[in-house]
Amino acid sequence: MTTIQPNALSDLLATRDWLLADGATGTTLFNMGLQSGDAPEFWNFEHRDRITALYKGAVDAGSDIFLTNTFGGNASRLKLHDGQDRVHEINKVAAEIGREVADKSGRKIVVAGSVGPTGDIMKHMGGTLTHESAVEMFHEQAEGLKAGGADVLWCETISAGEEFKAAAEAFALADMPWCGTMSFDTAGRTMMGLTSAELVKLVNKLPNPPIAFGANCGVGASDLLRTVLGFKEAGPNQPVIAKGNAGIPKYVEGHIHYDGTPDLMADYACLARDSGATIIGGCCGTTPDHLRAMRAALETRPKGNAPALETIATALGGFSSVSDGTDGAGPVRAPRRGRRRS
């Protein structure tokens, strides 16, 4: 078992009952002019001022943690834009911008280096991605984020347990602390069939465990909180992360719009805390306005007991499926062939 070294996130967790993470990177960048199909990671060079504004928006709204603009910063994803040879510099500069924003904030802010999935399917599931190549890609990205001054690495929106394991191994090679979240977007399971309870088992067995783990993105805030309750039921050893979307996506006048209001996300934040999450943030659709409302609610509303599913549904909307899969009733998604873009 790897001993977790002292780090900024662990220090902050030791002094607080909850931490506020950031909101949506993609939503914010699209609002700044990013076009569909563009690689947002290139904006770290082309529009440094906008990436600075992205990070500063979360900090000014009260976030204790923000993620770098590097979700697709691995060689496999960047190859789609002929950027596979720029992995280290892209990740390094994104973290450098984040470090500058955090250090100017006047309070302790954690810069988390975002590491998304490779976009490839693992070989034993019918794809082409080997464990060794996944570790190599994650390690390359991790070294760039480390060189730029990231406090921790933050692996997010993962679907396959094998890819999660590869990230853990890569982060050990980089000698960096990390957090990890999966997306439970298929009737309470990940796209590759993992339940909340199975992720807890996986995390508990890792030789290089994360500082914290949890769920991000998915279908909606209600589903995500049901997953958080599943984590807590399974008895995790680490703090739990909840980063839910701001409502449900709808196509409005040519754009994806999330219908979650700041008031709804304030309710979500407190329900996430009551469900057992320690690190609470937003994912798609979550803006600084949402974050401000979440921070205010967490600071002023007393902690309550773990909510019933009916309470969650009444406050945030119904669930997308009857079961979250932990009772054996949920479907197991067959392995997909091809690429997935988050």
Give the per-residue pLDDT at 342: 35
Give the per-residue pLDDT at 94: 98
Provide block-wise average pLDDT over 10 residues at a time, the chain (342 residues).
Answer: 70 97 96 94 98 98 98 98 98 98 98 97 87 98 98 98 98 98 96 97 97 96 97 97 90 76 98 98 97 98 98 96 83 38 34
Q: Are 201 and 234 in contact (CB under 8 A)?
A: yes
pTM: 0.94
Residue 218 neighbours by CB under 8 Å, 6+ apart: 183, 184, 185, 224, 227, 244, 245, 283
- SS3 labels along 232-271: HHCCCCCCEEEEECCCCEEEECCEEEECCCHHHHHHHHHH
324 vs 286: CA distance, rounded Å = 24
